[in-house]
Amino acid sequence: MFSFLKLPGNLRSIRRYVNIVRVLSSYGFDHFLEMLGLADLAARSRRLFQRERAAIRRLSAAERMRLALEELGPTFIKLGQILSTRPDVLPPAFISEFEKLQDNVPSFSFEEAKKQIENELGGPVGDFFSSIEPTALAAASIAQVHRATLKTGEAVVVKVRRPGVLELVESDISALMGLAHLAERHIPNSEVYDPVGIVREFSRTIRREMDFSREGHTIEKFRDNLAAADGLYFPRIYWAQTARGVLTLEYVEGLKVSDLSALDCGGYDRKLIARRGADAFLEMVLNHGFFHGDPHPGNVLIMPGNVVCLLDYGIVGRLDDELRNFLSDMLFAIVQRDIDEVVSLLFFAGDIPDTLNMRALKHDLLNFIDGYYEIPLQEIEVGRMLMEFIEIISLNRIRIQPDFMLLAKSLVVVEGMGRNLDPEFNMIDHLRPFMEKARLQKYSAKRITKDVNALLLSYLNLARNLPRDLQEIVNRINRNKFKIDLEHRGLDRFTTDFDRSVNRLSSSLILAALIIGSSIIMQTDKGPQLLGFPMWAFLGYTAAAVIGLWLVYGIIRSGRL
């Protein structure tokens, strides 16, 4: 039986667990809850919260899960949006549905916004702003934005964190972490998908997104990295009016990148805009390893002079030197149709399962590369090519870093905007000089010297630590403290089912004993009488009836007749 004592967290977290189980059960995920060992709790939820299930059953599992995430609120919508970039975790049907998730929520009151600003900045609103518009420009699950004017006269926008969202998110993270641990404990082979690691990565992402001062530093880092790039603009941060829960930015006026008619009427050069946007994104990725993770058209403004301005820096991706080298080498190997090099790179950069079928992997990769063999370079969509590649390695259960998945998704969006602006846009042309530069740097004398020094240093550290590690092992053996831990997965569910079966068998034996004993007493005339029958026999039959009804009710409720 499920016990709340097994769950971490405070009372609020436990209430959230109950709500999550209720929602998942109401959308038909009882089998999943049963796998987690939450069948009893799900059964109680069904009795307390009835939902019209006929219409829901007609929906696919992916559609039902999307609806469940929307009902569970902002944290789960964010989780779904992040998982939509993880084809290594979710099948295509779920990714397609999760891409539809929107965190459209009503704005909170202006009085609450003012109180939040004052709490964060440590003083009355009038000390920092000469005016703030009461009506929010936009509202989302984590924050909303107001136009304002500083006391020095500059027009700004103020991003205000939603009251209570920190507590809500922390409660949801606690609940998700508990469910992730249950999944690893009860669901066979769940370690392939690393549910605890997914929740841990998600918690880091959403906590960074809720820290607006971090977002301000992110904007300044982008400005410094791309200082030499032409035609880019980053809004100014007003640090005196910024804190962890309030971000004050320069108000930027411009046209939406998707508004082609307005761009044409204004005399903008769409080809130049597409080129500047693509070059800026590729420079973020391949030169700096630090890129905008949500570059959809709503976050891109075009200013006079064909200047591109990016907005909303809450989600960013990071690629270390190894992952950047992996990306450039992988693209080069795919273009060269070198299957062995692709496999070698995957073994170096990916998390390879023990059950990998090498022949099947090479067959899948060969079919993938052949699909692009006769396609002209100008017609190849690099982002979608990367997504297809990720799908192949995901089917073979090879895991790579989540930021690589985010990059592929962002590249699809950037490439789509480029083709929308310029039908002749070709990402390969923009990518080629970056790849050539990366390969020249990889084989330069400076880089080779750096790699050799790093390799020698790693071997030196290994040689230095090896005697100590061996001595530690010998000491543990001598002290009888050398242990090997064995973990049996899936036994918890077996033990629970076995205990339930034993309890039912014991109750059945007691029921049979009561019926037989009462029948024997019924044949005697001794003892007190009740309605002309021996009272003890009457009480025995009554107890047997109660136990019998309880057994029947428990069996029907479990759904296992």
DSSP for 289-310? SEEES---GGGEEEETTTEEEE
Computed on alpha carbons and rounded to an integer, the radius of gyration of the chain in Å comes to 31
Helices within 374-444 (DSSP H only):
382-395, 402-421, 427-442
Q: At residue 5, what are phi and psi to the nearest 5 degrees?
A: -65, -15
For the chain, give the number of residues. Answer: 561
Is residue 427 a contact partner of residue 382, using CB atoms and an 8 Å limit? yes
Q: What sign does the CA torsion over 45, 47, 52, 58 have?
A: positive
Using CB atoms within 10 Å of the CB of residue 478, give its burial: 0 to 12 exposed, 13 to 18 middle, 19+ buried.
exposed
Query: Residue 201: how many CB atoms within 10 A of its CB?
Result: 16
Helices within 29-73 (DSSP H only):
30-35, 39-48, 54-57, 61-72
Residues with catalytic roles: 294
Q: What does the alpha-carbon distance between residue 330 and residue 176 come to, in Å, rounded to a whole number?
A: 35
Is residue 258 a contact partner of residue 312, using CB atoms and an 8 Å limit? no
Q: What does the alpha-carbon distance between residue 300 and residue 284 come to, in Å, rounded to a whole number?
A: 16
Query: Residue 20: how many CB atoms within 10 A of its CB?
Result: 21
Q: What does the alpha-carbon distance between residue 262 and residue 141 come to, in Å, rounded to a whole number?
A: 30
SS3 318: strand
Label the pairing between strands 232-233 and 307-310.
Answer: parallel
SS3 letters across 448-468: HHHHHHHHHHHHHHHHHHHHH
Query: Residue 447: how many CB atoms within 10 A of its CB?
Result: 14
Amino acid residing at 533: F
Which residue, chain included where needed, has tokens 């070709």?
426
Q: At residue 149, what are phi and psi to the nearest 5 degrees?
A: -130, 130
Would you give the end-to-end CA distance of the chain in angstroms?
19
CA distances from 440 to 15, 69, 341, 445 (A): 57, 47, 18, 10
Q: What does the alpha-carbon distance between residue 337 and residue 341 come to, in Å, rounded to a whole number?
A: 9
Label the pairing between strands 155-161 and 143-150.
Answer: antiparallel
Amino acid residing at 112: E
Is residue 98 a contact partner of residue 81, using CB atoms and an 8 Å limit? yes
Exposure b/e, 137-148, CB count within 10 A at least 16 = b: eebbbbbbbbeb
